[in-house]
Structure 1
Amino acid sequence: MFDTALTTADFIFLAKGAGMTIVVTAISVLIGTVLGVIFGVLRYQLGPIWAAPLIFVLDICRSIPLLIQLVLTNAFLGTILRLNLSGFTVACIVLSMYTAAYCAEIVRGGIEAVPATTRRAARSLGMTWGQDMREIVLPLATRIALPSWIGLALGVMKDSALVYVVQVTELLKSTQILITRLQEPMLLLLICGAFYFVISFPLARFGGYLEKRWSND
């Protein structure tokens, strides 16, 4: 008979950690996607020279490991700027910029993949730049960029495990706490992995559904 010291209260503790993972991921992906779309359009429209400052900032966010970004941002905001921000707020700020940096490249690539002839045809019909982007470019670019965006969102969800360094008790940190107390690493890691699967599976399936639906249009 399987014997474990894991209680209902411990399972609820893990569920709360999973809830924190979902909240941090949802906020970061939402804000990061909005910023990423803005940055991606600017990156495309301004070109490599005028967009150089923006490219430099985005490259920093993509190049420096997320763990270091979390530690340095927390120290900078708290020690230098004297801002009394919670670890949750710092985690969302860093993950949002991290998401935006990658999303900007996804958006830029999606826009560049739209055939130039399609854009010229839209402009020849009298569409303004805004109408062209809203009615033609962004819908087509969304279809192209969706698989990469789904992968990014899933990656951010898994990378959110690093926010423990700013004192945010998410799913993996909750698991580590229980492992230290109960000394049942295999069982707890299996449960942790199951939680991650339950969180990520619907998003992956939804992305697959949209891809299949759009491919049949």
Structure 2
Amino acid sequence: MMKVVIVAILALATTLVSAYDPSPLQDFCVAINNTDSAVFVNGKFCKDPATVTANDFFFPGLNIPGNTAASKLGSSVNLVNVDKLPGLNTLGISLARLDFAPYGLNPPHIHPRGTELLVVMEGTLLVGFVTSNPNKLFTKVLNKGDVFVFPIGLIHFQFNIGQTNAVAFAGLSSQNPGLITIANAVFGSNPPINPDVLAKAFQLDKNVVDYLQKQF
């Protein structure tokens, strides 16, 4: 009986570990788009260590504000993940700069592979996340220097409630945390979700669903 329990625990642990970025077994594994490479780790090939340079661990430009005017929501996110910084491969971390125009919104979304730790650099943000069933909202107003954490996989948002621009930086516990924006995913999927499904799920008139799908 004890052996069965131990095997079950080990199987569960293996499942949990495999759900996150792998722990590195070497100093680094700089990502490279070269199928001739012999080593393939977490979706990326490893660059020959002999050809690695300091630039593989460098990304410039997070001092530059994002273009919030280009978004209908008045926000801009510059994510530095493994695709932009190859040296992040296997290190289980990434970084983002978030810019908000006055009353700009980073809409409800999830990161399926990463917990997010947010620090406000300028301005005032209303932030929050919603738990899995039962759906409880945890929300807080953040000012300059305040920090808030959004647990992995939970719906969360950031909203600039001030009359001036706001800036925040976020660390994420994955080299490629992923992003699913709830409204885009539900009303803007390709191909679209059957309107009858959405009308019943959201208890909306089908004409409203048609309107929302056209917005995305």
Give the TM-score normalised by structure 1.
0.23
Q: Which of the pair is proportionally richer in helix?
A: 1
Q: Which one scores higher on RCO, CA 8 angstroms, separation ≥ 6?
A: 1
